Amino acid sequence: MKNIGFIGLGIMGKPMAKNLLKAGYQLIVYDINAEPVKELFEAGAREGTSSQDVASQSEVIITMLPNSPEVREVVLGEKGIIYGVKPGTVLIDMSSITPLTSKELSEKLQQKGVAMLDAPVSGGEPKAIEGTLAIMAGGPKETFDMAKDILEVMGASVTRVGEIGSGNITKLANQIIVALNIAAMGEAMVLATKAGVDPEKVYQAIRGGLAGSTVLDAKMPLVLEGNFKPGFRIELHIKDLMNALDTARELNVPDILSSQVMEIMQSLKADGKAKDDHGGIIQYYEKLAKVEVRKE
């Protein structure tokens, strides 16, 4: 059984690490916040003192961090992974970052004899807890094949989509579709409610047809309860869409709808709702229409 280092124990990382412990893997963990490290230690993990320390004791290292700058700092910064890692180690970065950053880090690590996968996830906190995330991986096939058993502890769907960077391209595509779905749901349900039709009945009527989706079933019941407790925060979706928009512009790809949803989310951030769940995008439409979409 491989020794796995896990760096980044936030909303997503902590339950993912716990699932690896439950599966019997030996874990050494590190986070800048002491509380989740203590919780994992009490569950059976060892504590690392730095990213470098974790790397020096691991055969596989998993990172789950907020964005590109944090991943770059953990890998290349002071007491970073690159200073402790041994040749033959594998780094699996499960953060949602820019594809260019994944490629840059992979090139640096290759010089140390270290292979890398970029393997971002979709599903939010509930699926991280259940171990049923969708994991989209980029990197060498032989590295993916070696790591697949580990990834399958955390995900119900684990797919290699191509070479390094392609995992994050896939995640950006995923985040565009999710954001646009949530915005469409909000626009439609505010229209129905303003017209005097019970939004819960509208939801039940359409969920089995072409308008039905995983997004609709995940978010609409929460909206009807007025529950915007974060499974995935608006501020994090803003980060992902920013990466998507930057990548689209680098590739000369139009981003018309994504840009519009970004403006909606930025407006919500300005209203103090950045830490709400991204299902709270509906609040933008509710505010303008002066109506709330709730159970009767």
User: Is 93 within 8 Å of 109 (Cβ atoms)?
Assistant: no
Whether 171 is catalytic = yes
Asked whether 33 and 9 are in contact (CB, 8 A), the reply is yes
**How close are the terminal C-alpha atoms of the chain, in Å?**
53
- Do residues 124 and 232 touch, judged by C-beta distance below 8 A? yes
- What are the Cα distances from residue 9, in Å, to 5, 73, 191, 250, 259? 11, 16, 40, 32, 31
3-state secondary structure of 28: strand
Q: Which of 18, 171, 219, 273 is catalytic?
A: 171
Structure tokens at 7: 């760096």
Q: What is the DSSP letter of 166?
A: H
Q: Quick one: 208 exposed, middle or buried, by C-beta within 10 A (0-12, 13-18, 19+)?
A: exposed
E strand intervals along the chain:
3-7, 26-30, 46-47, 60-63, 90-93, 115-118, 121-122, 133-138, 155-162
Q: Which residues are catalytic?
A: 171
